Amino acid sequence: MKYIRWFSELGVGDVPLVGGKNASLGEMYGALTSQGVRVPNGFAVTADAYRRVLDDADAWPRLHRALAGLDCRDVQDLARRAAQAREIVYGAPLPADLVAEISAAYARLQAEYGETASFAVRSSATAEDLPTASFAGQHETFLNIAGEAKVLDAVRRCFASLFKDRAISYRVDNGFDHFKVFQSVGVMKMVRSDRAASGVIFTLDTESGFRDVVFITAAYGLGENVVQGTVDPDEFYVFKPTLRQGHRCVLRRKLGGKELRMVYTTGAGRETTRNVPTPREDQARFCIGDDDALVLADAAVKIEDHYSARAGRPTPMDIEWAKDGVDGELYILQARPETVVSQRPVGQVDEYRLTAKGDTRTSGRAVGGMIAAGKAHVITDVGQLGQFRPGEVLVADTTMPDWGTVMKTAAAVVTNRGGRTCHAAIVARELGIPAVVGCGDATTKLRTGDDVTVSCAEGAVGRVYAGALPFTRTRVDLSALAHPRTHVMVNIGNPDVAFQAAMLPTDGVGLARMEFIVAEHIKAHPMALVHPEKIDDPSVRDAIAQLTQGYERPADFFVRQLAEGVGTIAAAFYPKPVIVRMSDFKTNEYASLLGGRWFEPHEDNPMIGFRGASRYTHPAYAEGFALECAAMRRVREAMGLTNLKLMIPFCRRVQEAERVLQAMATHGLARGANGLEIYVMCEIPNNVIQIDAFARLFDGFSIGSNDLTQLVLGVDRDSEIVAFDFDERDDGVKSMLRQAVEGARRNHRHAGICGQAPSDYPEMVEFLVETGIDSISVTPDTLLAVTRTVLSVEQRLGRAPSAA
């Protein structure tokens, strides 16, 4: 055939003939189906056919006249001219020989899939899915098409969609000549995701650019809802390095609202789509299981590997997928190079930081890692777009591809609906502006004309603050920073910021706090999840039941959530060491958790009470500690993250240490097994006094300067009356620090510090380097400054920078 190419005949080199989408489908169909990547079969109507149609209709001069002198900033004129151009193209008849070829190819495809099969007819422009311009969502796709006449009509509509308003504007913005971009059309088996689920995959983290994960979004029904941000989708992360090693385990999951499901409906004599409410019981569960997520991750890794090999460089991918509700199979519908996050300069970090506080008006999912301020402009109807002014913050229920002209002038975008792969998020990243999506109430909580600050620099949660708050932006060139011999590590508790923090030049995590994950993600007391029957308040029991729905036992919820939080941190820094501290809540803090007051005693001074190691083998908490151990075992064994080391806090006596280690071994965490190292916090004077004895039981020490200082000086740092006497720089405290480092070295054990002192005081960094400490762990925001201080001291001491 002259104007038809089957997917099996196409590859990535055929973009000029069939466009980016069809070339990629052909490449995957030919190269990856044998590896288990399932791609629907189909054929492409070539760009030559498009040119032939317009040649025969003498349409080119009329198109030139329609677009001559166009100014895309005039939205009304753009709409008028674009409509005229589409009429010219759609009105051009298909030549008889082209009709014959399409009809013959359609008959062959129908024979392959059966008389009842339907098909997708998709645009594929010759400038689409390029490394520097994706054209995502700019052209038309027609779904669930059946019958020769409808296929032919859909081909003509795809040709005409090359002149959609948004596509014209996108070409202008990206420097493409309207008359050097041609339209191809793909016809392929329709995957009935209206009866199952669909979504988008990125082979990197879309916010930080972290490249070792596959990020999957998923929602019920057709994928348009995920792409356009109509729904808040489920999210899955899978860690590539351990997936390649054979570990079949999802790293992290987040349940989305999935409020709507897009399905097919018949209206005005033709097939259309509509959104229907998702039943509450379906919203409350993940739309695909872990097994499906792992199949998709496998396919994504194979696709990325293949395209990277073709390009001769790492090529992160943006992939569309769908699950067929009829045959139950998972299909890849499209794959293109990711064109925004992967293009960021390597070795440069932009740090945004608010320098004042404000009232939070609304919050959602953060996109972009930046901060911007401006006047809010709430758009509730597309007709209001003409009133939007450059520099304003666009606030809407959701955004559409037609809004591109307005969005590129916005300071930031805020939406009620959508996830981190929706249209608003993708465009915001491309434009380099922050977006907060999926707020739920943005259009009611924000008013047009109000000054607001949009912050996406505080982790996964984006916030919109009242007022124009001051903030700083600092660009750091990491390539110019030498690597000190003393290991500089980070303290971290929030998994949401782990991928971003891992971009900093660190030697790993010196302290991963379990408490943040328990308080912010789990929210319930572990013993309340083990024994909910002991809670005599029905409202609290109901809250626990709501929190843990979908799990066979409430305790399973704790294990899964804790494992995913800690696992995310361990994956972010893999294969560098990540030292996670087992729980160190105090009784008053534990009591504040959901269900906690039924399991915690009252203490007058919880700072030196029932905390840390003393809890782990005590009957009042031993079952809770077993859950912590089960979660850590899942991270190391099921997830394969053996870079995880464990650390015991507030361990008062050697005998207590022995009991805790025995309990851990009983729970499958024996020191030395599968390379497991167990550290102890050095934060009680007895840890220093008996450091030789503790060294026989543990692989390393991490000095907790906060607790060590208050116990050396006898100062309760929570007491406002005496807090002025709390000072880590006191000579007595420094003497204890020196003894701890020397004692660890004497016993050939690692000595680090994870307390606040080096983050706050450069002179403490100097002192610690001079003592010969192995590692200093600090907060991410001080890491670069501390690294420079360490390098300066090492240079003064004659220590050359590390080659690492």
Residues identified as active-site? 423, 754
* Three-class DSSP category at 614: helix
Is-contact 242 268, C-beta < 8 A? Answer: no
- Where does residue 725 rank: exposed (0-12), middle (13-18), buried (19+ CB within 10 A)? middle
Is-contact 363 434, C-beta < 8 A? Answer: no
DSSP assigned state of 736: H
H or E element that contains 540: helix 538-547
Question: How big is the chain, counted in residues?
Answer: 804
For residue 671, is it left (φ>0), alpha (ψ between -120 and 50) or beta? beta
Q: How far apart are CA 144 and CA 123, in angstroms?
A: 15
Q: Which of 627, 625, 615 is nearest to 557 (CA)?
A: 627
CA angle 85, 86, 88 (to 5 degrees): 65
Is-contact 705 712, C-beta < 8 A? Answer: no
**Helix/strand/coil percent split, the chain, to 5:** 45, 20, 35
Mutual orientation of helices 75-90 and 60-67 as an angle, nearest 10°? 170
What's the sign of the alpha-carbon dihedral 43, 49, 54, 56?
negative
Taking the CB of residue 224, how many other CB atoms lie within 10 A of it?
18
Q: How far apart are CA 520 and CA 503, in angstroms?
A: 24
- Where does residue 798 rank: exposed (0-12), middle (13-18), buried (19+ CB within 10 A)? exposed
CA 50 and chain centroid, separation? 39
Is-contact 687 694, C-beta < 8 A? Answer: yes
Q: How far apart are CA 750 and CA 679, in angstroms?
A: 9
Q: Which of 733, 720, 648, 641 is nearest to 685 (CA)?
A: 733
Q: Which of 373, 406, 404 is nearest to 389 (CA)?
A: 406
Kindly write down the DSSP assignment for every residue of 247-293, as one continuous string.
----SEEE-----EEEEEEEETTEEEEEEEEPPHHHHTS-SS-HHHH
| Residues contacting residue 69 through CB under 8 Å, at least 6 positions apart | none
Kindly write down the DSSP assignment for every residue of 429-445, as one continuous string.
HHHT--EEE--SSHHHH
Structure tokens that stand for 94 in this block: 């298909």
**Could you give the count of Cα atoms lying within 13 Å of 146 in the half-sphere of its Cβ?**
15
Terminal C-alpha separation, the chain: 58
Place of tokens 């013993």: 527
Q: How far apart are CA 240 and CA 46, in angstroms?
A: 36
Residue-wise over 137-152: b if at least 16 C-beta within 10 A, else e? bbbbbbbbbeeeebbb
Calculated CA dihedral for residues 409, 413, 415, 418, nearest 10 degrees: 100
* Three-class DSSP category at 778: strand
| Residues contacting residue 764 through CB under 8 Å, at least 6 positions apart | 728, 729, 757, 758
CA 686 and chain centroid, separation? 43
